[in-house]
Amino acid sequence: MGKATRENSSPAPFAAEKLRTAGLRPTRQRMELAAHLFCGDDRHVTAESLHDEVARAGIKVSLATVYNTLHQFTAAGLLRQVVVDAVRGYFDTNTGDHQHFFLEDEGTLIDIPGEAIQVAGVPAAPAGMAVDRVDVVVRVKRT
């Protein structure tokens, strides 16, 4: 059955390709983080939450590397940053057109599909400026 062991089995074969395409060397840390980020459904993480998560999975990656990686992935278009909270920075694996609910009590984000929501009447951007993105945050609180 070959020599696949816990040590040499790659956690997510697709990750290497994804990283290469993005112009990033497929290092162990980046592979592990990519595996956690891009394997299942879309998700929202903070540097800290992702770091905790991989740590609990027994993977050793420094927090600095998590920050670096999140930013590199964002620059490569693999992630998108969401600004909803003054204290924490969130990263979203869904880079398509969509918006968010933000549960203020828990600090949780929930995607709202882009087709669902429409923003009308945005005035022309100030002179010399172009619209980069329109972000909608629906802040909700426990009833």
Give contact residues for its own copies (rule: CB under 8 A): 81, 83-86, 89, 101, 103-104, 110, 112, 116-123, 125-126, 128-143
Question: In the numeric block, which tokens belong to residue 89?
Answer: 């920075």
Nearest to 100 by CA among 74, 138, 133, 132: 138
Residue 113 CB, shortest distance to DNA, in Å, is 26
Give the one residue of 86, 116, 131, 134 binding DNA; rule: CB under 7 A.
86
Q: In what order do the strands lie in the sheet with 90-92?
A: 44-45, 90-92, 80-82
Nearest to 59 by CA among 7, 4, 19: 7
Residue 36 CB, shortest distance to DNA, in Å, is 14
Binding map of DNA across residues 7-36, x = CB under 7 A, - = no contact: -----------------xxxxxxx------
Give the one residue of 21, 39, 42, 60 binding DNA; rule: CB under 7 A.
60
Contact 122/134 with Cβ under 8 angstroms?
A: yes
Contact 95/77 with Cβ under 8 angstroms?
A: yes
* 81: partner contacted, choices DNA, its own copies, none (Cβ within 5-8 A by kind): its own copies
Instruction: Give backbone dihedrals phi and psi of 8, rounded to 5 degrees, phi first.
Output: -105, -5
Residue 41 CB, shortest distance to DNA, in Å, is 22
Quote the CA–CA distance of 11 and 31 in Å, as a whole number: 7
Shorter beta-carbon distance to DNA: residue 20 or 139: 20
What does the binding site for DNA look like in residue numbers (CB under 7 A)?
24-30, 46-48, 60-65, 67-69, 71, 86-89
